[in-house]
């Protein structure tokens, strides 16, 4: 006998926004890695993903050429992403606003409505077995910095998905 359980309850979703300074290196990389892992986990309709910068210098710009190159070599396509600046309204839209470093956290706290401050987190909190706190800014450095960003994003996004899974069970 087949028992068919029907429910009209809407499926729970969780929305996350990755944030760095310029939204052209670290947070688009985190967005690309997270999208890839979430698709592989068949959770694209449950975990909604975006990224933004605390600054406005690169609004409308494509991700940094070096970030796109390094990501592309690992199978992540960042070409469709465009820079945007985070605003106070984003703390209503996103369950988690996930910063790359402590300076991003400080900038986010400065614009966040007090009731939503607990939505601000550091990405590396979700990476298992590391005491590294921040994803370092690769913008003024060499190629190794972009590889390190990818390594950190891959580990932390795996941990983030694992942390979100129990919350998706309604
Ligand atoms: P992101 O890197 O915060 O990881 O996107 C940077 C991008 C641009 C600049 C600094 C950091 N900038 O000074 O223009």
User: Using a 6 Å cutoff on CB, does residue 157 contact ligand 1?
Assistant: no
Q: What is the per-residue pLDDT across 2-13, written as a single tens digit (0 to 9) for each?
A: 665 666 777 899
Report CA(6)–ligand 1 centroid distance (Å): 48
Q: At what angle do helices 26-40 and 65-73 cross, to 10 degrees?
A: 30
Residue 20 Cβ inside 6 Å of ligand 1? The answer reads yes
Let me know if 151 is a catalytic residue. no
Ligand 1 and 28: CB distance under 6 A: no
Q: Does any ligand 1 atom lie closer than 6 A to the CB of residue 26?
A: yes
Nearest CA to ligand 1 atom 9: 22
Instruction: Please tell me if the CB atom of residue 31 comes closer than 6 angstroms to any atom of ligand 1.
Output: no
Whether 4 is catalytic is no
Ligand 1 test: best mutation among 107, 139, 145, most atoms within 8 Å of CB?
Answer: 139
Asked if 118 is an active-site residue, the reply is: no
Q: Half-sphere exposure (CA, 13 Å, Cβ side) for 98?
A: 28
pLDDT at 8: 75
pTM of the prediction? Answer: 0.95
pLDDT digits (tens, 9 = 90+) for 64-82: 999 999 999 999 999 999 9
pLDDT, residue 1, reads 65
In the sheet that holds 14-20, the strands lie side by side as 47-53, 14-20, 96-99, 120-122
pLDDT at 2: 62
Work out the angle between the directed axes of helices 143-168 and 65-73 (0-180°, nearest 10): 70
Low-confidence ranges of the chain (pLDDT < 50): none
């Amino acid at each position: 006998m087949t028992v068919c359980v029907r429910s009209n309850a809407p499926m729970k979703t969780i929305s996350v926004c990755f944030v760095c300074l310029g939204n052209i290196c670290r947070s688009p990389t985190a967005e690309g890695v997270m999208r890839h892992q979430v698709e592989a986990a068949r959770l694209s309709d449950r975990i909604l993903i975006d990224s933004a910068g605390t600054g406005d210098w690169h609004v409308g710009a494509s991700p940094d050429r070096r970030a796109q190159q390094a990501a592309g070599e690992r199978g992540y396509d960042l070409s469709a992403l465009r820079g945007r600046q985070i605003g106070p309204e984003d703390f209503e839209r996103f369950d988690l606003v996930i910063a790359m470093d402590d300076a991003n956290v400080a900038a986010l706290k400065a614009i966040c409505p007090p009731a939503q401050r607990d939505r601000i987190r550091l990405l590396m909190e979700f990476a298992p077995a590391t005491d590294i706190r921040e994803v370092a800014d690769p913008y003024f450095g060499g190629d190794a910095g972009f590889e390190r960003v990818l390594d950190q994003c891959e580990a932390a996004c795996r941990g983030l998905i694992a942390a979100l899974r129990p919350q998706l069970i309604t």
